[in-house]
Structure 1
Amino acid sequence: MKSLTVQWAKPIALLAALGIVGACSLPKVGPNKREIFAGSVQREGDAFIVSVNDRVTRATAVVPAFGFSDTFKNAGTLTSDTIRPGDVLGLTIWENVDDGLLAGEATNATVLEEVQVDSAGFIFVPYAGRVRASGNTPDQLREMITSKLEDQTPDPQVQVRRLAGDGSTVSLTGAIGAQGVYPIERPTRTLATMLAQAGGVTIEPEIAEVTVIRGHEQGKIWYQDLFNHPELDIALRGGDKILVEQDTRSFTALGAMSSQSRVPFETQDLSALEAIAQVGGLLSLSSDPTGVFVFRNEPAEIAGQVLGRTDLQGAQRMVYVLNLTEPNGLFMARDFVVRDEDTIYVTEAPYAQWTKTISLISGGLTPLANIASITGG
Structure 2
Amino acid sequence: MQKIKMVRDNLRLEAEQEQVEETVAVIFKSFSLARVSAVLAVAGILSSCGLPQVGPSKREIFSGSVQQDGDAFIVSVNDRVTRATAVTPALGFSEEFINAGVIGSDTIRPGDVLGLTIWENVDDGLLAGEAQNSTILEEVQVDGAGFIFVPYAGRIRAAGNTPDAIRRIITAKLEDQTPDPQVQVRRVAGDGSTVSLIGSVGGQGVYAIERPTRTLSTMLARAGGVTIEPEIAQITVIRGTMRSRIWFQDLYDHPELDIALRGGDRILVEEDTRAFTALGATGGQARVPFESQTLSALEAIAQVGGLQSATADPTGIFVFRNEPAEVANVVLGRDDLIGAQRLVYILDLTQPNGMFQARDFVIRDADTIYVTEAPYTQFTKIISALTGPLGSVNTLSSLAGN
Secondary structure of the 1:43 match is coil
Pair 1:222 & 2:241 matched = no
* C-alpha deviation, 1:114, in angstroms: 5.1
Q: Residue in 2 aligned with 1:210?
A: 235
* C-alpha deviation, 1:150, in angstroms: 4.2
Pair 1:234 & 2:281 matched = no
Q: Residue in 1 aligned with 2:154?
A: 129
State which drifts further: 256-265 or 86-95: 86-95
Q: Residue in 2 aligned with 1:264?
A: 289
Q: 1:81 to 1:261 in 2, by over 3 A?
A: closer
Cα distance in structure 2, aligned partners of 1:39 and 1:11: 36
* C-alpha deviation, 1:178, in angstroms: 1.1
Q: Which amino acid aligns with 2:284?
A: S
State which drifts further: 96-105 or 222-231: 96-105
Q: Which amino acid aligns with 1:355?
A: T
Q: Residue in 1 aligned with 2:307?
A: 282
Per-residue Cα deviation, 1:97-145 (whole angstroms, up to 9, x for no partner): 3222211121212233454434432223223233111222444323322
Secondary structure of the 2:52 match is coil
Q: 1:336 to 1:172 in 2, by over 3 A?
A: same
Cα distance in structure 1, aligned partners of 2:181 and 2:124: 15
Q: Which amino acid aligns with 1:216?
A: T
Runs of at least 5 residues in structure 2 that lack an aligned partner in the other structure? 1-31
State which drifts further: 11-20 or 243-252: 11-20
Q: 1:202 to 1:119 in 2, by over 3 A?
A: farther
State which drifts further: 367-376 or 310-319: 367-376
Q: Which amino acid aligns with 2:185?
A: R
TM-score by length of 2: 0.87
Per-residue Cα deviation, 1:267-293 (whole angstroms, up to 9, x for no partner): 110111111010111001100000000
Q: Which amino acid aligns with 1:288?
A: D
1:1-377 equivalences under 5 Å are: 9-113=34-138, 115-150=140-175, 153-163=177-187, 166-376=191-401
Cα distance in structure 1, aligned partners of 2:382 and 2:104: 77
Secondary structure of the 1:212 match is strand
Cα distance in structure 1, aligned partners of 2:93 and 2:251: 11
**Contact 1:86–1:168 (Cα < 8 Å) also in 2:** no
**Contact 1:141–1:160 (Cα < 8 Å) also in 2:** no
**Contact 1:175–1:245 (Cα < 8 Å) also in 2:** yes
Q: Which amino acid aligns with 1:194?
A: M
Cα distance in structure 1, aligned partners of 2:184 and 2:88: 52
TM-score by length of 1: 0.92
Q: Which amino acid aligns with 1:357?
A: I
**Contact 1:89–1:160 (Cα < 8 Å) also in 2:** no
**Contact 1:298–1:318 (Cα < 8 Å) also in 2:** yes
**Contact 1:9–1:369 (Cα < 8 Å) also in 2:** no
Cα distance in structure 1, aligned partners of 2:368 and 2:162: 58
Per-residue Cα deviation, 1:339-361 (whole angstroms, up to 9, x for no partner): 01101011000111111011111
State which drifts further: 107-116 or 188-197: 107-116
How many residue pairs align between the two structures? 370
* C-alpha deviation, 1:363, in angstroms: 1.2
Runs of at least 5 residues in structure 1 that lack an aligned partner in the other structure? 1-6
Q: Which amino acid aligns with 1:148?
A: K
Cα distance in structure 1, aligned partners of 2:37 and 2:164: 107
**Contact 1:145–1:158 (Cα < 8 Å) also in 2:** no
RMSD: 2.0
Cα distance in structure 1, aligned partners of 2:111 and 2:194: 10
Cα distance in structure 1, aligned partners of 2:343 and 2:233: 30
**Contact 2:232–2:271 (Cα < 8 Å) also in 1:** yes
Secondary structure of the 2:75 match is strand
Cα distance in structure 1, aligned partners of 2:322 and 2:138: 65
**Contact 2:167–2:185 (Cα < 8 Å) also in 1:** no
Secondary structure of the 2:390 match is helix
Cα distance in structure 1, aligned partners of 2:46 and 2:79: 43
State which drifts further: 89-98 or 186-195: 89-98
Relative CO higher for 1 or 2, CA cutoff 8 Å, sep ≥ 6? 1
**Contact 2:171–2:183 (Cα < 8 Å) also in 1:** no
Secondary structure of the 2:381 match is helix
Secondary structure of the 2:308 match is coil
Cα distance in structure 2, aligned partners of 1:129 and 1:223: 47
**Contact 1:209–1:246 (Cα < 8 Å) also in 2:** yes
